[in-house]
Amino acid sequence: MHVRTKPIMAITIILIFALTLLLLMLSSVSAPKVPAASETVPITQNERVEAIERNIQNAIDAAGAGGIVTVIGSKIVDGDMPLSLEIPEGVTVFWRADYAGSSHTMISLSGSGVFEVADGGVVSVTRGHIYRDYAFAINTDAVTVNVSGGRVEASIGRGGAISGDTGTINIAGGIVSAEGDMTWTVYTHSGHIKMSGGSVRGTGNVLRSDSGSVTMSGGTVVSDDVQDALVAPDGNVIVTGGMIINSGTM
């Protein structure tokens, strides 16, 4: 008996080719983009710092690349309780809340995202002189800190308003101030400070980067001593605009 196999083999080859082509077409179709999340997190006086921290961090973690988290409300912190946030790259936190207290660090930032104090936002630390104790309103490692409005202020023995390690600090608006025995209003170890607007005031070094750069293109710096206004011992100071005022008082 003679069995005709050629037509069956031809059909099988055609089916395999069609299936392969279909798979290639499906693989070339991009998955639908998930829109970036935008969430507002309110804080209240009755909440503990741990709860505030958890709620904001949960919103940050859910935001994803391009996501925005806005913090509103108010809280006065009584005691040494830093608010620690990890902000990944691609996420921006807009701070529009009024947050004040006496913690050695009011807000501590880690990661590589963006933290911006915007209109209505306040981060303030008031702490008496304690030997070998430094206090900061905002302390960051590599998170970019922007000040576009509001206030960041420190009334302390030692420390400053904003302290950073390697990241960039941009001041385009608002008021940043520090008053105390030994202060650096805006400080970074090896990062960059860029001022294009707003007002920065201090009784010690006002804008200081140890080995990075300080760039001023606008805004106003008010200093007890003009030599302390813009300082970069092992870095660069570039001034293309703005105003530096030598004032003996805050």
3-state secondary structure 137-165: EEEECCCEEEECCCEEEEEECEEEEEEEC
> Which comes out higher in pLDDT, residue 35 or 134?
134
Residues 118 and 98: their CA atoms lie apart, in Å, by 11
Distance CA(107)–CA(56), nearest Å, equals 12
CA dist., res. 40 & res. 35, Å (int): 16
pLDDT value, residue 30 = 43
88 C-beta neighbours (distance < 10 Å), count: 16
d(CA 125, CA 232): 25
Residue 110, classified by CB atoms within 10 Å of its CB into exposed (0-12), middle (13-18) or buried (19+), is middle
Give residue-wise pLDDT tens across range 173-191: 999 999 988 889 999 999 9
Residue 13: pLDDT over 50 = no
pLDDT at 33: 45
Return the pLDDT at 132. Answer: 59
pLDDT tens readout for residues 62-113: 999 999 999 999 999 998 999 999 999 999 999 999 999 999 899 999 999 9
- Sorted by where each begins, the domain ranges of the chain are 33-246
How many residues does this entry show for the chain? 250
**Chain segment 207-242, per-residue pLDDT in tens:** 999 999 999 999 999 998 877 899 999 999 999 999
User: Chain-wide mean pLDDT for the chain?
Assistant: 87
- The mean pLDDT value for 134-163 works out to 95
